[in-house]
Chain A
Amino acid sequence: MKAEATDPLDEQLAKARSGDQRAFAALVRAHQRSVYSLALRMLTDPGAAEDLAQDVFLQLHRKLSMIESSAHLAFWLRKIATHRAIDRLRQQPAASVAALEEADLLGVHIEGDPLLQRQLRELILDLSPAARAVILLRFQEDLDPLDIARTLEMPINTVKSHLKRSLATLRDRVLNRDARSEGHLV
Chain B
Amino acid sequence: MNDLEDKMRDALRPVGPTDGFSDRVLARLASGTQRSTQEAQARPRFHRANSRWVSIALAASIVVAVLIGQQWRVQQQEEGLKARRQLIEALRVTSDKLDLAYQVVNDPSPSEAQHEPGV
A→B interface (CB under 8 Å): 21, 24-25, 28-29, 32-34, 36-37, 40-41, 49-50, 53-54, 57-58, 61, 65-66, 107-111, 113, 116-117, 120, 135-136, 139-140, 142, 167, 170-171, 174
With A53-B21, A54-B25, A58-B28 in contact, do A140 and B4 touch (Cβ < 8 Å)? no
Say yes or no: A32-B21 contact (C-beta < 8 A), given A37-B14, A40-B15, A139-B12: yes
A107 touches B15 (CB 8 A): yes
How many interface residues does chain B have, given as a range? 20 to 34
Distance in angstroms between the alpha carbons of A28 and B14 in the assembled complex: 15
Query: Does chain A have a CB within 8 A of B115?
Result: no
Closest 10 CB pairs of A and B: A107-B15, A37-B14, A33-B14, A140-B12, A28-B22, A36-B17, A139-B8, A33-B16, A139-B12, A110-B11
When the two chains form their complex, are residues A113 and B7 in contact, meaning their CB atoms are under 8 A apart?
yes
Residues of B within 8 A of A65 (CB): 85
Please state if B14 and A140 are interface contacts (CB–CB under 8 Å): yes
- Nearest chain A CB to B91's CB is how many angstroms away? 12
Is B26 an interface residue, CB under 8 A from the partner? yes
* Nearest CB of A to B110, in Å: 33
Provided the pairs A53-B17, A139-B5, A174-B4 are in contact, do residues A28 and B25 lie with their beta carbons within 8 angstroms? yes
- Complexed CA–CA distance, A36 and B13 (Å): 12
Chain B nearest Cβ from A70, distance in angstroms: 17
Q: Determine whether B10 belongs to the interface, using a CB cutoff of 8 Å to chain A.
A: yes
Q: Are B16 and A36 in contact (CB under 8 A)?
A: yes
Expressed in whole angstroms, the Cα–Cα distance for A58 and B22 within the complex equals 11
